[in-house]
Amino acid sequence: MSHPQFQPAAEFGLSPGELRFERVGPEWKTRFADERGRIAKVLGLVALDIQHIGSTGVPGLTAKPVLDIAVAIRDF
DSSP 32-67: HHHHHHHHHHHHGGGEEEEEEESGGGSTT-EE-S--
Report the pLDDT value the prediction gives residue 5, as an integer from 0 to 100. Answer: 54
Task: Please state whether the predicted TM-score (pTM) of the whole model is above 0.85.
Answer: no
Residue 12 has pLDDT above 90, yes or no: no
What pLDDT digit, counting tens, does each position of 37-76 carry?
A: 999 999 999 999 999 999 999 999 999 999 999 999 988 7
Domain ranges of the chain: 20-73
Query: How far apart are the C-alpha atoms of 72 and 50, rounded to whole Å?
Result: 6
Residue 19 has pLDDT above 60, yes or no: yes
Residue 30 has pLDDT above 80, yes or no: yes
Q: CB–CB of 46/9 below 8 Å? A: no
